Amino acid sequence: MTDNGPTICVHGLGYVGLPTAAMFANSGYEVAGFDADPDHRQKLEYKQFSFEEPDLERFVSRALDDGLSIVGDPEPADFHVVCVPTPYDRDLDRTDLSYVEAAGEAVAELLQPGDAVVLSSTVPPGTTAGRLREVIERSGLSASEDVLLGYSPETVLPGNTLTELRGNDRLIGTVGGRSPDRLVALYDSFVSGDIRTTNATTAEFVKLIQNAYRDVNIAFANEVAKLSHEFGIDSRESIALANEHPRVDILHPGPGVGGHCIPIDPLFLTHGNDVPMLIETARTVNDGMVGFIEQLLEAALGELEGTTVTLLGVAYKGGVSDIRETPSLVIAEQLREKGVDDVRLTDPYVDGNDVEYELFSIKGGLDGADAAVLVTDHPDYGALSPEAFASRMQGKVMIDTRAMLDRDRWERTGFDVYQV
């Protein structure tokens, strides 16, 4: 505790940790931000950011000028907020909690009676009350009596991080029956949405089922899209008409799902249990949309071997540079395995240094191409000109996985257009 109030140490300065640290700092707290990657820490000290959100850059920069310090080691604090990665190891079919454990060990060395620790990383249910509690209590302090241990998940959408950090409802769960009041007061400093409280395991579970719900519903939309092609009808028109019913709200189909949440979080639920799950089926359906796009290309081109295909969009969603779990890179890899001679990627938002593939300009990517696949719903792509594409491409095939294009106009220009 300083003269300016409680101190905070944020562990992990990635997509969630950095804006969270900045939010606390710009709310008047003294914040120490630690990340285990020294190169990342150095870049932050020089205000070099990896995200493409102008408002977020200004917001973080202001925090760095004022209450947020980038530190080389975790520091003692009244509140420790853990925002470290929790990757899912598909080969081992389990969540990698090593970063959470490492952060817990660092915190345990600093803890004093009365301190609070809150985990924000996405984890399997029971992690906070189980493995993290075990690590924290190596300090000799009890999570039931001496320190406050809790869980509070983030629910932000890249591209709208600041608005959602402030405006989304916040869920806080605690361990050992402890009162959540101190954590509620902490987040109430910037959260304008409702703050709800429960136990830590329930809070962990809620985070996962929110994204599993979306995954399952996207899978249904993707199944509708496949069935529509079987019947030779327009999936988007069918969905729009179905949604006229007051109790029906079918989502939009697409090339699959990306980002760190929806494709990964449902796996945290299925790990370690034998219950047959709709969730697993949804994961299979959404991952399988890559194969469906291949089928559309094969139907249009006759065969894929020896062709040139241009993918429009690398990011997993429109208007951002985020490539985590993006379907585009999976499509590129599988098209190469299918014998496509030249797969070209283009994206106006993504830095070429972030991907292993060469990134082309749209013009360069289209020269001599047999087909183009619109993968990402970038706002820029809605105004693409079929005449400009026709003047550069060798073939006239467009696979529009987002239904962004004026199909009639493209077909009048001579294109075979396939929409998901």
Annotated active-site positions, please? 207, 261
Q: At a CB cut-off of 8 Å and minimum separation 6, what does 287 contact? A: 256, 263
Sequential DSSP letters for 152-190: ------TTSHHHHHHHS-EEEEESTT---HHHHHHHTTT
- At 12, which amino acid appears? G
CB 253 within 8 Å of CB 220:
no
| CA dihedral of residues 399, 405, 410, 416 (deg, nearest 10) | 20
CB 376 within 8 Å of CB 384:
no
Q: Which residues on adjacent β-strands are paired with residue 21?
A: none
CB 217 within 8 Å of CB 192:
no
- Strands 371-374 and 397-400, sheet pairing: parallel
How is residue 91 annotated by DSSP? T
Q: Which residues on adjacent β-strands are paired with residue 148?
A: 116
What is the Cβ-side half-sphere exposure of residue 181, based on CA atoms within 13 angstroms?
1
Residue 416 backbone dihedrals phi, psi, to 5 degrees: -90, 115
Residue 148 backbone dihedrals phi, psi, to 5 degrees: -100, 120
Q: Using DSSP, how many helices (H) and how many strands (E) does the chain show?
A: 16, 15
**Cα 13 from Cα 17, distance rounded (Å):** 4
CB 148 within 8 Å of CB 117:
yes
Residue 288: Cβ within 10 Å count:
15
**Cα 362 from Cα 294, distance rounded (Å):** 21
Lay out the sheet containing 416-419: strands in order across: 342-346, 308-312, 371-374, 397-400, 416-419
